[in-house]
A and B are shown apart, each in its own frame.
Chain A
């Protein structure tokens, strides 16, 4: 079965750094694009960052320059290095697998359970 398990969240002071991890299992990890999506408390979903199989990376404007996404195919894992954190980054962070079916249209067919990041002094 496909599983995505996030880790690395926690309470961090403003200006601090955290590294989130997403461990994948049950599929050929290297063959899939992987993304991070966050959900602010009581709010909707916000795309954060994505990394394709070839290693190209994409970021939302709100995190570009502060967050870095990476992957390690040999360990079936990908990561989100978050620097210069602020209260606005407080959210539940989900990792998600991108499936591409018809005409290459992407969708998230599997999600992790989320890891909570709280930025507060």
Chain B
């Protein structure tokens, strides 16, 4: 199975800060990498697909990049509503696997 490792596991930042989350795959996955966010008690929602493509309706402060084994999710200016847990996911091969999640909190 392809292991997905996110870092950090959690972070605390202020409104307006630039935040970057990294995701590393245990083997090359091209750009078969998606990002989701999840708020407590809610289902996950798609944020970015195919490494760098913003899902419809997602604010432009979110961006993604990377290929092969190393990927990033960046929030250019953190907003209060961004408090959530973020997950990366590879869909290169079954079993599709998720990172362990990064919890983002506002200071």
Contacts and interface: CB of A to CB of B under 8 A. Distances in A.
A61 B50 contact: no
Most buried by B among A45, A60, A101: A45
Interface string A74-114: 00000000000000000000100001011101111101111
Contacts of A46: 98
A47 interface: yes
Nearest to B47: A107
A105 B49 contact: yes
Interface residues of B, number: 25
Interface of A is mostly: strand
Interface string B77-107: 0000000000101010011111111000000
Contact of B43 (A60, A107, A112): A112
A35 B34 CA distance: 15
Interface string B2-44: 0000000000000000000000000000011010101000011
B43 A101 contact: no
A103 B49 CA distance: 12
B46 A108 contact: yes
Interface of A: 35, 44-47, 50, 58, 60-61, 94, 99, 101-103, 105-109, 111-114
